[in-house]
Structure 1
């Protein structure tokens, strides 16, 4: 399957690659720099998610927090970890309708507003119920913002940078992770409840920034075209992708291709509503891949470290809370490094190679982690405990080269525009289900089976590798519309190509590629 996809994708990029000005780079063009600044505002949505996902892991190693909430354990601790995802589940039915109905920007703004209120409640929490309610609202707001933000990133990015920037979205989860873990590490020396209230307040920085600035960012041209606002969409494409030239070859190609793809979706009666996600063989294959990688992203053994690192440390004799917080903080930096590195290699190495390498590495290092955990359980040696920590770091390096950067970018790029918000919502829903399962089952299984529970994940990761080998389709160097058509057969690709034939290379002479052309460096203007 993968080989066929590669072959298909190899020539498709010729449709627009010759129209990209080789002299227009992210560092020498003022409007692309501005566009990337807006994209950063969208990318940090994932930082909020990472902050929240790491906060409670750090709080569990914080004596003041444990004391204030009466040392939650068992089902009480499981509810505390799961309630944010329960809030996300409550928000998912609304998320795609806000993204598709009101637009990407309004959905992000509404989500940010809810999160600001929730963060204030969490930081001021006076009891368990208030803290739980705040976390539910955080999850609800996150579901709205995280549905729209990556869609907007991939739909406004300059073609040359779309894949790495979209991959950076989920990679920046770890930037929030870093702020959460290190702020908690620093606040542990505060003897009052401000030790956990200050990190809670910091969680509001990103949503407040988005609340204030999101309306100044560009809206998705695909959304605007879908709503009949073609002139506005063309103006945005031209302003950011061609210095305002609406007749630029690349802009015209993008504009016509988006129009053709959206019109093609509209002419197919089945491409309406949720049923469309499974109405055709191409869509069914999309959904199988999307749901699978969503569960893989949480069921690869990483859930043990993400939410119950304290229990893992306790099981190998590392009980000092300062050491636990320190290792957690270093691990966050390590993860960010590998995830960002992989994001910039997406177009060079391809999605398929990264997925297979990631799964193989996870299987190897998680198996070694299991063996060393068993050795510590049997012999209580420090060497075995230290080896477990080392293999946790190596496991995460493997995990981060695909299952951090690619799960979001790959999901949004294989979905056609009409199904993108709904399909991505299904992806987020599947992640929440898998996380909730982890948060309730993992602590019980760890308590009952200890290191033997790791064997289950070893077998599961082996299945993940097999799935990726047979199911992952290469999408390297394709536009969004070409990638979506890849799943729908040659006819769909041919229809889109024919719809934009007026901007073929033979019919378009771009003055920017002539020998006499000298690019205007806007930074010098």
Structure 2
């Protein structure tokens, strides 16, 4: 029953991951879109904190309550989400795609203009989305399978196997391991919240490259420290260095691969491919999770610290791919990002004049408020 329950949880997670980030991206105000979407995945760390401290307390319990209590607590966030979901508006882009344009316009007036129907930003967003969706309809391939074909034109071992990594450097007791796990998750959450505010300020590409570079440094130091400890178990400096860089690994990952990842995947895809893109992302992510679950434990057992050497060059490959193939998306609106990939015809609307008028109106509002 426990294994089946984990499978059901996994299915639910895929649905939430595929729909949550696109919905936030599509309903957020243009000035808040980057930070709002990047915050989407940061609550994972909050859940990890609760789970880590719960297991820190329950591992002392003799009997099935040791794992039943942490498992039962997982239901609370779902109850909160189910209750709150009734007050979440539908995506205006989805409404327009279903010929419910009046409802979409009402959304923009209510949530993006505080009830002002004549707001230039509302008119701009409404017209831009209509034009972009009209362009997407004109190039639609006519079937789900053909549309999926459009997509053809490593931190896991530390996250999933913290316990054996700690064991390899002499930290073997449940007290030590659960305490490190709990405090590490607290650092992870705080860093994830702060770093979610950065994509709109410094750009997505910069965060990707910075994060992967920091991950590379952490992996090299963890590998080196583990190797030194394996050759000399009395070397406490090596032990401490591994623990220190295990703590730093989470902030390094959160810098550019937590919230920034969900934001970038969501915004580089046009409306017709957005949900499909998230589905593909979760498909490959789940396949990789299966690999980490069943294969990595064997690698750690047989190779110990040498198993980490697989990931050091892999991160270098990721850095090269990001540098070569990931364009910056900071600045343009959600619809205008398509122009970066498909050219000016993808936007379907000459927005330069409207953008100037919006900037002038915002300056005027700022001056009025100052007066």
Instruction: State the TM bucket, normalised to the shorter chain.
Output: over 0.9
Counterpart position of 1:318:
171
Matched, 1:159 2:10: no
* Worse overlay, 413-422 or 334-343: 334-343
Matched residues in 1 for 2:219 and 2:356: separation? Answer: 50
TM-score between both structures, scaled by the size of structure 2? 0.94
- The aligned residue for residue 365 of structure 1 is 218
Structure 2 residue corresponding to 1:268, chosen from 114, 135, 139: 139
Q: Residue 441 of structure 1: which of 287, 295, 308 is its match?
A: 295
Q: Secondary structure at the match of 1:474?
A: coil
- 2:340 alignment partner in structure 1: 486
TM-aligned CA distance change 1:246 to 1:433, over 3 Å = same
Q: How does 1:84-233 map to 2 (within 5 A)?
A: 130-233=1-104
Alpha-carbon distance in 2 for matches of 1:175, 1:395? 17
Report the Cα offset of residue 398 of structure 1.
1.6
Return the offset for 1:516: 7.2
Give the 3 Å change call, closer, same or farther, for CA 357–244 of structure 1 in structure 2.
same
Identify the residue that residue 477 of structure 1 maps to in structure 2: 331
Pick aligned residue for 2:113 from 242, 246, 251: 242
| 1:513, distance to aligned residue in structure 2 (A) | 1.7
Closer, same or farther: CA 359–271 of 1 in aligned 2, 3 Å:
farther
Q: Distance in 1 between matches of 2:142 and 2:120?
A: 30
User: What secondary structure sits across from 1:254 in the alignment?
Assistant: helix
Q: How many residues align?
A: 369
- Gap change, CA 1:479 and 1:516, over 3 Å in 2: closer
Counterpart-to-counterpart distance in 2, 1:227 and 1:482: 21
2:364 equivalent to 1:513: yes
Task: Give unpaired runs (5+ residues) of structure 2.
Answer: none
Work out the CA distance in 2 between the residues paired with 1:330 and 1:511: 44
SS at match of 2:238: helix
Deviations along 1:202-250, one digit per CA (max 9) or x if unpaired, are 1011111122221221111111111111111111111011111222111
Normalising by structure 1, what TM-score?
A: 0.67
TM-aligned CA distance change 1:514 to 1:332, over 3 Å: closer
Q: Distance in 1 between matches of 2:38 and 2:123?
A: 26
2:158 aligned with 1:305: yes
Counterparts of 1:506 and 1:441, CA distance in 2: 57
Q: Do the aligned partners of 2:269 and 2:338 also contact (CA within 8 Å) in 1?
A: yes
Q: Secondary structure at the match of 1:246?
A: coil
| Contact residue 355 and residue 468 of structure 1 kept, 8 A | yes
- Residues 388 and 509 (structure 1 numbering): CA distance in 2 closer, same or farther, change over 3 Å? closer
* Change over 3 Å in CA distance of 1:177–1:508 after alignment to 2: closer
Write out per-residue CA displacement over residues 345-401 of structure 1, whole angstroms, 9 at most, x where no aligned residue: 111111111111111111122111111101111111222111111111223322210
Shift of the alpha carbon at 1:183?
1.4
**Offset, 1:272:** 4.9
Bigger drift between 323-332 and 306-315 goes to 306-315
Aligned-partner Cα distance in 2 for 1:417–1:452? 44
The CA deviation at 1:512 is 7.7
Can you list the C-alpha shifts for 1:248-271, whole angstroms capped at 9, x where unaligned?
111111111111111110011437
Confirm or deny that 1:425 pairs with 2:279: yes
Structure 1: gaps of 5 or more residues: 1-129, 286-299, 520-525
Deviation at 1:150, TM superposition (A): 1.1
Cα-to-partner distance string for 1:53-81 (whole Å, 9 max, x where unaligned): xxxxxxxxxxxxxxxxxxxxxxxxxxxxx
Mean Cα deviation higher: 263-272 or 318-327: 263-272
Say whether the 8 Å CA contact 2:227–2:305 is kept in structure 1.
yes
Question: In 2, are the aligned partners of 1:512 and 1:518 still within 8 Å (CA)?
Answer: no
Give the equivalent residue in structure 2 for 1:385: 239
Other-structure match for 1:394: 248
* SS of match in other structure, 2:32: helix
Contact 2:222 2:242 in 1 (8 A): yes
Whether 2:269 is the aligned partner of 1:403: answer: no
1:469 and 1:506 mapped to 2: Cα distance?
A: 35
SS in 2 for 1:214: helix
